[in-house]
Structure 1
Amino acid sequence: MIDNIKISLNGFTGSFDNCSLRPNAKEWENYFLYRSNKSNAPLALGYHIPSHRLNIRGSIRKWYFEDTSSTQDLSIQQAKEAFEEVAELLLISFEELRQGHITQCELGLNIPLRSSASVFTSTLVAYSTYDIEQRDGSVTFYRKDRYRDKERSSHKRNAWKQKVACIYDKLAEVESKSTTRKKDKQASVVAKAKNILRIEFIIPNRQAFKTHKIGHCSILGGLLDSYGCLYEVWAKEYKKLFFQPHLDRNSPYLANEAERDIVAHLEKQEQLFLALGHFNDLSVQAKAQVKAQLQSIISLATHRSSQNAASRKVGLSLDVYRYLSSGRKDFGWNIENFPLVTRTLFGSSLSKQALNITRSRINKVKREMSRNNKGKKYADSLDNIA
């Protein structure tokens, strides 16, 4: 669950005998902390000499599995083992490390999929109200400081932005790295999946812990003691993701037959669209007919598209549910209040209910269109693609 993390430990009393020295900065001593000689994923340490404050930064997940290409997720047992080893290598007690303040924490899952990860990364269009950036098959969301931008000159505006979420094809990232993944039971299970989608949300500061109503987790000890509730936080943020399918006949992501049918339906209206070029020359009655026809076409495509988007989100939620269930059963993941996490994923107690809601919207449109003589033929055509 947890991955990249930043910890600030005041009054550090340990030693750096087990660390490798990095180039020094003014008033700071910088080190790398490796789990073993075989590891390629160190934690970065910064020790502020005047205040005796130690800052720890890096991926505790990759540090524990000793591989930057690991596709495994960190369970509560593994997280505790990891930080116990960190304390041991720093020659301090585990209780002292537990007092560290977490200034940033990443919550992420590597989800095995039944379909291509690109189906989701190409159609993800929003996460809450954050700014989006799509690049090389990954989708990143940022929070910008609007107040700071107002105080800056025009060429420096938008320069400050804080990453709050990232969704990408995990296997594509792994393939881009040359190191071999560590082979164990969980790694082999995940490796069997042809596709893995990485979904990670960032808690950017200590105040954000309070916003999520887990203020006690801003201390490392509190985070480890309440590790099971982090899955609920992740699920609540996941619920804010919004997918919108492409309606492009040539798109490689139109794997859903219903989406192809929408495009085919629109293509059949070629004569109507050609007539729009002479719309201003039509009579008032003819214009009314064209408007009614357009309304029917748009209603059909929009509602059908919404159904596909909802179905796609439900399908992804099913993959997440299977993965979490497997983690609980096979690897002993302690997910606090798992039924609530499930309801949060689907937005209702059962995924079938979510699908029924979208289908009922389609039926409502069909009834409204059938009452209108001008839209009756489009209501009939709806039966062919519904």
Structure 2
Amino acid sequence: MAKHYLNVSQNKKTGTVTLTGSLRKRSYNRVTLLDMSQSMFVQTLKGIAKELCIPFEELRRAKFTQCEIGANIRTRIPAIDILPLVVDYAHYESNDNYIEKGTLYFNGTDRLLKLYVKDDEIAAHSFSEEKRELKKMSFDRLKAKGIHQLRIEFTMKTHRSFKNKGMDHIRTIGDLIDHYSELYDFWTKEINRIVIYNKLQYNEVDLSSKEKEIILGLEELGFFEFVDRYQDFCMSTTTTSKSAKSAKSDAFKEVRLILDKYFDRKEYNKFSLRIDVAKYLIGKSKQFKLNLPLLIRNLWGVSTLNK
């Protein structure tokens, strides 16, 4: 376990072999900033097949239960400062209990979004206190030079997660290999759904009455309390459950439009995050074959506010 984080077991009644653990950590033998490429994914699986005396084609037919789709992004401001700015993802329940320690969760029925300070996580999970201190000092020096690392990771909890995102055809390890590029496609589309709220920049004389109402509410109450109150108010003016649901969605859409229209361009904002991600993708495209134009479009893609 100290070397590869992988456990193998067999059900004696059914003969089913189960592999549990992190293939990424198995690949690199340590906690690392490196992301698993398609070629490394295949290389790792071939190594496992050889060690377990299983034909690779047989291993390709194995089903998987949980899949983490993520990447480590170099950000222009400290990653720990970005976490409080992330206020919504797909209307999932947020868990900020560990935000001061560098981790933020958005938990849904079929998938989980996890954002965390990757360099701090690497230092914290070193095997000895001496190595932890050395890595922390190394990363602190990098941070002092403006080099920060934020991990954005979506956990697909079951196959239903893939089905709900139009990837029902990805069922086995072999499917993951053959459709690896679709994981990048999914990842960039979902990043486009991350809502960031920092500061608003506007000229009050140019605002409509509705815009003034929303902006004043955001600035006085904060994002979460205002959105709750505003949605409740909009729903209270309806007469049916269907219209109430529609009013709630429209209320959130109105808030999103304000954030998109009047974000402070001098502060870290949603476009700052997308630019940092785009730089990551451009760097990766020089090493691996990616459909870069498609992935960049996904970051600024068609609005998913109604979903």
Partners of 2:40 and 2:215 lie apart in 1 by 54
Shift of 1:298: 2.8
8 Å contact 2:103–2:117 — kept in the other structure? yes
Aligned partner of 2:188 among 204, 229, 235: 235
Aligned partner of 1:319 among 246, 267, 276: 276
Shift of 1:178: 2.8
Q: Tell me the residue number matched to 1:194.
A: 147
Aligned letter for 2:158?
A: N
Question: How does 1:293-312 map onto structure 2 within 5 Å?
Answer: 298=216, 306-308=262-264, 312=269
Partners of 2:150 and 2:214 lie apart in 1 by 37
Aligned letter for 1:323?
A: Y
| 2:122 is aligned with 1:165 | no
Shift of 1:71: 1.1
Q: Secondary structure at the match of 1:115?
A: coil
Q: Tell me the residue number matched to 2:102.
A: 137
Partners of 1:100 and 1:300 lie apart in 2 by 49
Question: How does 1:1-386 map onto structure 2 within 5 Å?
Answer: 40-67=3-30, 69-134=31-96, 135=98, 136-143=101-108, 164-179=112-127, 194-245=147-198, 298=216, 306-308=262-264, 312-329=269-286, 331=287, 333-335=288-290, 337-347=291-301
Taking structure 2 as the reference length, the TM-score comes to 0.70
**Superposed structure 1 runs of 4+ greater than 6 Å apart:** 190-193, 299-302
Partners of 1:343 and 1:99 lie apart in 2 by 33
- Listed one character per residue, the Cα deviations across residues 135-175 of structure 1 (whole Å, up to 9, x for unaligned) are 1221111125xxxxxxxxxxxxxxxxx76110011011112
8 Å contact 2:83–2:104 — kept in the other structure? yes
- Listed one character per residue, the Cα deviations across residues 259-309 of structure 1 (whole Å, up to 9, x for unaligned) are 6x88xx99xxxxxxxxxxxxxxxxxxxxxxxx99x8698399695894138
CA RMSD, 1 decimal: 3.3
Partners of 1:296 and 1:62 lie apart in 2 by 46
Q: Secondary structure at the match of 2:33?
A: coil
Greater CA drift, 115-124 or 192-201: 192-201
Shift of 1:315: 1.0
* Gap runs ≥5 in structure 2: 133-141, 220-254, 303-307
8 Å contact 1:116–1:195 — kept in the other structure? yes
Partners of 2:295 and 2:168 lie apart in 1 by 19
Give the direction of change, closer, same or farther, for the CA distance of 1:163–1:228 in structure 2 (3 Å limit).
Answer: closer
Shift of 1:100: 0.3
Partners of 1:106 and 1:300 lie apart in 2 by 34
8 Å contact 1:106–1:200 — kept in the other structure? yes
Q: Secondary structure at the match of 2:20?
A: strand
Q: Secondary structure at the match of 1:347?
A: coil
Larger-Rg structure: 1
Give the direction of change, closer, same or farther, for the CA distance of 1:243–1:52 in structure 2 (3 Å limit).
Answer: same
* Gap runs ≥5 in structure 1: 1-31, 33-38, 145-161, 182-189, 248-258, 267-290, 349-386
Aligned letter for 2:216?
A: I
8 Å contact 1:169–1:197 — kept in the other structure? yes
Taking structure 1 as the reference length, the TM-score comes to 0.56
Q: Secondary structure at the match of 2:152?
A: strand
Give the direction of change, closer, same or farther, for the CA distance of 1:163–1:222 in structure 2 (3 Å limit).
Answer: closer
Partners of 1:127 and 1:300 lie apart in 2 by 18
Shift of 1:204: 1.1
8 Å contact 2:6–2:21 — kept in the other structure? yes
Shift of 1:53: 0.6
- Listed one character per residue, the Cα deviations across residues 245-272 of structure 1 (whole Å, up to 9, x for unaligned) are 2x6xxxxxxxxxxx6x88xx99xxxxxx
Partners of 2:74 and 2:301 lie apart in 1 by 21
Partners of 1:296 and 1:79 lie apart in 2 by 47
**Number of aligned residues:** 242
Partners of 1:120 and 1:316 lie apart in 2 by 9
Partners of 1:142 and 1:300 lie apart in 2 by 24
Partners of 1:104 and 1:299 lie apart in 2 by 40
Aligned letter for 1:219?
A: T
Aligned letter for 1:342?
A: I
Shift of 1:334: 2.6
Partners of 1:238 and 1:168 lie apart in 2 by 14
Partners of 1:65 and 1:57 lie apart in 2 by 16
Q: Secondary structure at the match of 1:49?
A: coil
Partners of 1:320 and 1:297 lie apart in 2 by 28
